[in-house]
Amino acid sequence: MPAASEHRFRRLTLGLYACVLGLLLAGMGWYLASTWREQLHQTRDQLHALTQLTHQAVQIQFDQYARNLDLLASQLQDGHERDLGLVRRRLIQFAQSDRGIAVLNVVGADGQIVASTALATGAAKPNLNANPVLRGFLEQARAHPRALQLFHPIVSPLVHSLVIPFALAGPTQNGSLFYLVGGIDMGRQVQLYHALLTPRQRAAGEVIGVLGRGGYLFGAWPIPGPNAGPPGAQGNLDNFLLRPRNGALQQDLLKHPEALRGDVDGLINIGLANTEYLGAFQRLAHFPLYAFVFAPKPLVWQNWWHLTLAPLIGAAIGIAMLTLIMGLSLRLQRQWFLDTQRKNEQLRSAYQAESRQSTALGLLGQTLVMTMRAPDAHAILQGLCALATEQLGCALVWVGRAAVDAPRRVSVLASAGHTAYLDDIEIALDDPQTGQGPFAHCINSRQPVFLGIDTPAFHPWRDRARAYGIQDILALPLPMGTGQIDHAVLVYGTRPGFFTDAHVVGTLRQMVQEVALALQSLLARQALERARHAESAANARYHQIFSNLPAGVIVFNAEGRVQYCSAAFIGLYNLDVDPQTFVGRPWREIWAQIAELHVNPEQTTQRIKAQMFHNQAVEDEIRLRNGRVLLGSYVPLHDQGQPHGALWSLQDITSLKTQEAQIKKLINQDPLTGLANRRAFDTRLAQCLYALASSQQLVVGILDLDYFKNINDRLGHQVGDELLIEVSRRLGQVLRDTDLLARLGGDEFGLILPDCPSLDHLGDIAQRLLDAVEPPMQLNGHTESISLSLGFAVQLDGVIDGPTLLRQADIAMYAAKADGRRQYRIFGEAMEAQVARRESLLQWVGRALREHRLELHYQPILSFTTDAKGLLVASVRKAEALLRLRDELGTLHAAGAFEEVLDDPQLAVHIGRYVLHEAVSRALQWRAEGQRLQVCINISPRHFLDRGFLEDVKQALRAVPAGIRDLIELELTEHGSQLNGQQARDVVKACRSLGVCVSLDDFGTGSASLTHLQLLDVSTVKIDRRFTRDLFSSDADLSITYGMLRTAQMMGLNVVAEGVESSRQALALCVMGCLHLQGYVIARPMSAQQLHAWLGQWREALPWIDQIEGGLQVDDAAIQAIVTHSIGIRNLVQQTIGDQDRDFYLQPNAHELCLLGTWCTRQAERYQGGSPFAALLSSHAAFHDLARHGMTEPGIVDPTALGAASQRMRQAFWDVLLGCKATEADQQA
């Protein structure tokens, strides 16, 4: 911008500054004037208010004087001449009643003082007419009778003090006048004015008082002068009040004598010398007096200055800021003018560059059009070469590609210009000569390369280039989006310095970039088309797979619309629609059709909505109104981390849930007595401990039958079972509903008393229990009596856990037995010896651990697999490591001798580490010897849940290769609910991730349940020996074993049966489908050396294996038939059979219609002619005849006989199913 514009802009800025500054100053002047006027107005209002206050006070005072004196005159008008002593006393009383009266006289009409408060009665009394001034004063009073007259202050000759004279003329009865003449004490009057001023007003210099018309002050405050003193100081009053005043107020009253009130401004001859005052006055009624108040003008100025000081400072700061801003503005203007000039220069340069770029943009536009219209990659490359030669004047342009394989020859993909130059040219990147040219340099460096024909790298083609007039060569890399650079564009110029023009080079590079993007886009579209084709084919395959799945599947997208629905999904809900009709419809419409089919539609709908809202994988059970139970699996679908819909699959698990419910019932209930079993007892005990209040005491009891074994051995198991049933019934009758009685095993019962009031009450309960079993019992024709031994443990302070309570109760029970049985004991200090024994046992085991006297023995597990012919083949693939202790004398002790302390906190971790390392070392040694044998290691729950357990496992596996870590299997046995938590699940998952197998030991007992199968990722379960031990004699054990076996197998788990002690048990378990057996019939636990020898001849030691391998097959139908029979016989014996089953058993051909009869009919041809099969048919028919007879004629058939018939039939059944060889094999074993 020209300099004139700059100066003109500067003048405009300065003018604006001057205008703003002038307006600011004018506004400030107006503000000061207005605030001064406001301050004056406010000060005058305050003065008038104080004047009004003073006027009222003085007016009231003088009116009071007038009334009182008039009253006194009325009292004296009859007797003032008769009794002068009485008159004087009245005057004195009057003066004393009002301290303001300094002196009071009664004066006759002739001016003679008759009585006085200042003169004694007999003293000489002056005549007031002798004084001209006082004579005039009396004349004034005579002119206005009965009205109080005031005179200017004088010094009273009677009291010799400054007073305000007053006179009141009063008539006597004869018509003459007398006068009450006196003086008001001026000191008292000044005190009145002093009291009217506040301390602030006194300090500020304000003046208050009363002025008469003659200029005399009738009182004021403060009293000026150097001799000023406190109110009443006589010297000050005489000097100040005896002289008339001629100040501003007096001058104003002389000018306006009729004024009642007004304002005064000027010197007042009162207060500060040479100081002007502002004041206000008001006339008193009935008296020629004016009340006034004055304030010094400097005080008004001071208040005004305090009010305006802050705005003045703000205005000054504003002016300073305005000036500063104006200075900065001028400086910024100067800088802006300089920047503008510089930008104009840059714009001119940019315009010149833009003119060059317009050509480049046009060329780039042609390149873009060419790439959009080209049908394929070759056309794009050829178009690039043509545009570069035609528009930029290049001599030759060609595009080449280097092969991947050696020697990486370069092929020409497109060219334009002097293409004859390329004839017979061969370039290979691995060639020592041609591999140093511009193409090779560009490919290797991935950067543009510029060469002249005289450079050594271009030597092989120099002569050919000169023949075509080529001087410079530019090689540009052409990225194809594959991550490797194997394409390049070579451009040849015909004049030296052709490629030194940045415009030409930049245009070429941009053209190559556009072509590269176009090629990448073309390749991407082609790849996308191929992917779409592949996706379409895959979708077709997926639809075919989903359609053939037994599970129902429905898939919906992120918008909630159905993308796929299988026919199985429709079938699970019994819908009569085509699955394709659901595709494309919103999920809400589909759900509206099936919501009412659920047991609880609203709750199910809310749960499904929550799953879709949280969009996380989840499984839950869905119950339909028709009784079916579905397992729903909600799986979110994601595409590159973004939600892409979800898949919902449904699987019918109705039969599985039914079996699970039956198994749970069998697991939680003792099948013989109907009481709670050990598992239910442990659960209830844990609940009571958790909910125990501080004011309650929990009692746990252990009840054991005395000499039960004698009865059981003498009369048989059936009588023993009846006795247990009767004892359970009697004990239950004497307990409360809140108490729990459970059969813990054999003849041992557990008792929980949740809230026992006192030990005395506990004694009463114990005695009732003892008395309940005392009466004789009729058992299958036998009269038997039995007694109890009871032990109790009391939980008082909430610090004892369940196992400890049970241990204490067990100790107390054994104490009762030791004391003679048939009594109860409560655990206390006397039983601490038992605890001491446990401590001794802890020390014994701990010392053995430290002295390396612990050993591992191994019990092999026999496994069967199916060969190509469908036959079972036996093998030994694993062995369980069992702990043994060798004492100081060399005697070997089984774990049962010290098992109770293995889970103790002092030993659990240390022993667990020893077992881990020893078992892993043994497995590695066997593998080195050519024997692949998996070792099963029992892990203490306490060690398993210890923080360092995983590290212990890792340390033990350090020398084990990852591929063979499955040779190690960890066996978990829970005591209580320790394995129910999240920590247990995490540890099991971590072990599986290390390659280690995990199994669940003692499955079916109170220690391991279906919950653990659901929560823990185990691969194997081991059925406890208590279920396999009485497989042939116990209906419940057979049912439970088969149910657990099928449940575990349906969950994909291996099953090992423990406690197999006879070949007949082994054969029966194989028929039931249990193909992994462990027990004494196979081998007892042995040392590692003994096991190595046993593995060499185990087949000879187990001849009964030949029968299994010879054609023994799993027969589910047979097992289901005998299990169903077992349930029926139990209902018959316990007389809990239903009406429907009763009708069935009453049919004459019931033995042919039941499951066992149906199985026999199907197997008749197979076993035709065999005596065992004939015995089965006969015993089966005899059982049904006996059952029918017992139901038609109650009381005739003894339940014991019915049980015996059932036992004979079961014996015949197993003889048929297992074959007679089983008995022979048992005898050999």
**Sheet strands side by side (includes 562-565):** 562-565, 552-556, 642-652, 629-639, 618-623
Q: Which residue did the predictor score with more confidence, 1051 or 1137?
A: 1051
The letter for the amino acid at 63 is: D
Point out which residues pair with 639 in neighbouring strands.
642
pLDDT at 977 over 60: no
pLDDT digits (tens, 9 = 90+) for 994-1019: 889 999 887 766 544 666 777 788 88
In terms of average pLDDT, the best of 149-163, 171-185, 777-791, 1144-1158 is: 777-791
Q: Does the pLDDT at position 725 exceed 90?
A: yes
Determine the Cα–Cα distance for residues 293 and 359; give it in Å rounded to an integer. 98
| In the block, residue with structure tokens 């005058």 | 44
Residues contacting 337, CB < 8 A, separation 6+: 1, 6
pLDDT of residue 357: 59
Least confident piece of the model among 320-334, 468-482, 526-540: 526-540
**Number of continuous H segments (helices) and E segments (strands) in the chain:** 40, 37
Count how many Cα atoms sit within 13 Å of the Cα of residue 1106 in the half-sphere of its side chain. 8
Dihedral angle over CA of 299, 302, 303, 306, nearest 10 = -160
What is residue 921's predicted lDDT score, i.e. its pLDDT?
Answer: 92
Confidence category of residue 17, pLDDT binned at 50, 70, 90:
confident
pLDDT value, residue 1038: 84
What is the token pair recorded at 602?
């609203």
Binning pLDDT at 50, 70 and 90, where does residue 671 land?
Answer: confident
What's the average model confidence in pLDDT over 443-447? Answer: 84
For the ranges 364-378, 414-428, 511-525, 1059-1073, the one whose mean pLDDT is highest: 1059-1073
pLDDT at 664 over 80: no
Report the candidate in 961, 843, 973 with the shortest Cα–Cα distance to residue 912.
973
Residue 966 has a pLDDT of: 83
In angstroms, the CA 974 to CA 836 distance is 26
Q: Residue 740: which pLDDT band, with cuts at 50, 70 and 90?
A: very high
Distance CA 1090, CA 1077 (A): 20
| Average predicted confidence (pLDDT) for the chain | 83
d(CA 140, CA 128): 13
Q: What is the mean pLDDT of residues 265-277?
A: 74
| 887/883 Cα distance (integer angstroms) | 13
Coil, helix or strand at residue 198:
coil
Angle at 650 between CA 645 and CA 651, to 5 degrees: 150
User: Omega before 407 cis (within 30°)?
Assistant: yes
CA 1185 – CA 1177 distance, rounded (Å): 12
User: pLDDT tens digits, residue range 186-244?
Assistant: 888 888 888 887 776 665 678 898 988 788 888 888 876 544 444 444 555 666 777 88
For the cut 80, the answer to whether the pLDDT of residue 830 exceeds it is: no
Which of 431-440, 916-925, 1019-1028 has the lowest average pLDDT? 431-440
Cβ-in-10-Å burial (0-12, 13-18, 19+) of 1003 comes to buried
> Does position 798 have pLDDT exceeding 70, yes or no?
no
d(CA 209, CA 189): 10
pLDDT given at position 730: 93
> Which region among 519-533, 755-769, 848-862, 982-996 has the lowest average model confidence (pLDDT)?
519-533
Q: Is the peptide bond before 171 cis (omega within 30 degrees of 0)?
A: no
pLDDT at 230: 47
Digit-coded pLDDT (tens) for 832-868: 676 678 788 899 999 999 999 999 999 999 999 988 8
The three-state (H, E, C) secondary structure of 314-335, written as one string: HHHHHHHHHHHHHHHHHHHHHH
User: What pLDDT is attached to residue 232?
Assistant: 44
Q: Determine the Cα–Cα distance for residues 801 and 178; give it in Å rounded to an integer.
A: 120
> What is the predicted pLDDT for the residue at 1196?
73
Q: DSSP states of 1189-1216 as a string?
A: HHHHSTTTS-HHHHHHHHHHHHHHHHHH
Question: What's the confidence (pLDDT) of residue 238?
Answer: 66
What is the rounded distance in angstroms from the CA atom of residue 1043 to the CA atom of residue 1054? 14
> Residue 398 is encoded by which pair of tokens?
């060609």
Say yes or no to pLDDT of 134 above 70: yes
- The average pLDDT across 75-88 equals 71
Across 37-48, average pLDDT: 88
Higher pLDDT, 1088 or 525: 1088
Residue 1226: its pLDDT value, please? 46
Residue 797, pLDDT score:
64
Q: Please list, in sequence order, all residues whose beta carbon lies within 8 angstroms of the beta carbon of residue 280, skipping any fewer than 6 positions away.
A: 44, 47, 48, 50, 51, 261, 262, 263, 264, 292, 293
At residue 573, does pLDDT exceed 80? yes
Residue 512 tokens, joined: 């190559």
Does 881 score more than 90 pLDDT? yes
821: left (phi over 0), alpha (psi -120 to 50) or beta: left
- For 84: left if phi > 0, alpha if psi spans -120 to 50, otherwise beta; the answer is alpha
Q: Taken in order 576, 582, 587, 588, is the CA torsion positive or negative?
A: negative
Give the model's pLDDT for residue 704: 93
pLDDT of 887 reads: 92
Matching residue, tokens 């895959």: 538
